[in-house]
Each structure stands twice: as C-alpha cells, then as structure tokens.
Structure 1
C-alpha cells in the first residue's frame, strides 16, 4: 500500500477540565518520560503505511508542542517520521478539531484516514495495522472492546432496564474511514449543528456501515488522574512502542 493513501489525525485539543483543577491539558502530563500525546505520535508516525499525521490542538499550545515534538524526534533519530507530522490549530470541541484536521488534508487528500484520541497513549502498531487492513477492506471501521460488565439503563437514580451485553461494544480509537466519507460526515454535521460522541457515529448518520476491529484492554483512555495510576500497569506497552521507534530510526534515519 502506498503511504500516501493513509493519513492519521490525533485529536489533542482537550481542556483537561476533568483531569486537573488548574486546567492543564491531560495530554501534557508525562507518562514514562514523555507528554501523553507523544506516544500516539510515535506509534502512528513510525508506521510505513501512514504517510501523514496531523496533530490537532489548541492554537495557544501549538508552539510548545512543536518544540517538544522536534526535540523528541530529533533526539531519537526519527527525522523521516517527523517530516510526516503537521500541527494544526483545533476548535472548541473534539468534533470541530477533527473537522479542521480533515480540512488540512484537502489539498492532497489521502484515500483513508485514522482518527485517534491523544488520551489513548497505549496504541500498539499491531492495533494500528489491524485498523488499516480493515478500513481498506470495508471503507469504515472502529476499534472497540466487547463489554464484559452488565450494563444498566438508569433514570432518576433507579434501574429501568438491564441491557443485553452480548451485542454491546465500547468504542475505542483509532476510528477510520475513507477520507471523502469522513469529510462529508463532518461537514454535514457542522452545517446541521449535529453533535456526535465519535466519528463512527457521524459515519453511521450518513448511512455508512462501520465495522468492528477488536481492541485490547490496554488501549485505555486517560480521563481522570486515577487513570495515570492504572496506566502504570501497561508500561510494557510503551516499551513495545519505544522498541518499534528505535528500529525505525536505525533503518530510516
């Protein structure tokens, strides 16, 4: 597959309102020596099949992020991977930020795009490869984890229904689709004022069939401070990402 046919967008414009009282964005907290968002960049930019990576964040943070990205990638001999990365100012919401990230690719549109949350730093190359293979086969897919807990529907503090968990999946990222499909879905949502909780929901709204790629428990989303403690148990995953980046530097720098 040509690397130009697949791009990735990393959404890193969160405010951190649920993570810290001072509003420090969670993507800036360090995990094993790097800000959280760096791990997703390392995973995606070192994949041969991915030709471009768009990092979308608040405009006021971009200069600091650029300096960090430059320092990390230069220090690791990842000049080829660094050239893939473009920093783009985002919007007030994740949905708007992804829309702007898609728009930044319009001059030379890829065939497929993966959209990933920077708050999921444990993204292995195996998961990325599985998503790429699925989206090229079906046109739209998302990582998801089969629900193991019993799910209750609650109203006014009381259970009103127990849902059948046999067909319930918790959506993860990356979520992926044909570039033109994702662009159309986001532009239609922006025009109509539709707010969705993820990109798969927007694709569903345009009638697209979105398939499932089974995720792994380690692909967790860091949302509250306690998640940093949980993340410590997956440090071996970051070691895998480090090892892959190291081999990439040895081969391509």
Structure 2
C-alpha cells in the first residue's frame, strides 16, 4: 500500500521492514474477525496504521518540493483510490465497525501530506479538500479526523525530528480515542493501556527503523501489497464462513 520512488538498487531496508511489520500486524489484528479468541491481538494491531502512515510519509518526503504533478504521484494516488474502492465490499462483509476501509483514511492522509511537503497553491487546495472531507466523514472514517493528519505529521518528523517527533505520537493516540480506550485506560484496564501505549510508540519505532543502519536486507514490498489488502480480507471472510 505504498509507492516506491526509488529504483530497486536504491531500496531502503528500513522502509521495507516498516512495510512488512505493518502488513503482518494488520493480519494479526484482523485474525480476531475470524477467531474471536485472538482478540488480544488488537493490541499488536495498533502498530499497523502508524507504520502504513510512515511508509506514505517517507515517499512524500522524497518528493522534490513543489513538484506535485508527477507521473509517480499520479500513479500513487490512483492506486490508493482504486484499491480503496475495491476493498470496500470485502471490508464491509468482514467487519462490523461501520467505518470505511483504512485506504480511505490513507488516501486523505496522502493529500494532506502533499500539502505539507509541497506548499504550493494546488497542494494546499488538495490538502484543504481532504481536511474538509475528513471533517464531514469523521464518523465513518477509520481512525477518525485525527488519523488523516498522521502522514503529514510524520513528514514533519522526518524533516525536523527535534521539533515534531512527538506530534505523530499524540495523533496516533488521539486516532484510537473512538475505540473507547481512553475510558477503559482511565479505569486502569491493562488491555486499554497497552493498546494506547502501542499506538503511541508505533511512530517512534518506525522512525527508529527508518533511520537505523540495518545490517541486513529485507524482501521488497512493492505494488503487490495493494492486492494484499483486499486479498487478506477475502481470506478472512472465507475462513470465517467455513468455521
């Protein structure tokens, strides 16, 4: 669910590792939709969304400021919109949350991140439209109004970590507020506290992996990951139907 602006020989190991962790924790999180006994994996699943947002932020931060209308950016947006549409039916069949699938939130987040990166009139208009859409759709939007700002906050954190490293932390926690975790955490329920801590630490973990000089290679996560999202939803639905 991410675009790759680098050639294969220039791949960044940390970025691929971030994508793999995001994909794997997403699958763990969704296992509870087929096997309710695995509901505790919800905590581990709080890593997934921030790491997907970071993968977007890394790609956006590599754009030359002001060069918004490129073939790469157009393909990136088109793929997110296409797979958001393709994923909505299987997501609605497998989930009872009543929200749109996460690619809708990530698409709006991409537009806002472009506004932060490029700061041109066109990018600011797109970002403003995305913010308005997020406000109007905050009810059915996965991770709500705050969630769409996470990619942009991570773009800022990549550029100026000394100023903005904690901004995505706060937004990731706020994006989980609708799950009732705040109320449960206030009552000192360990499950809720762990979930919020995981959401808070996820962007810091991802940024550490991105900046760290990792001494190993990781299997690249390329455009097949777009198909993986609706595909894994169909697989979860199939498993649940057979059980």
TM range (shorter): 0.3 to 0.5
What TM-score, normalized by structure 1, do the two folds share? 0.31
Q: Which structure has greater helix proportion? A: 2
What TM-score, normalized by structure 2, do the two folds share? 0.32
Q: Which structure has greater strand proportion? A: 1
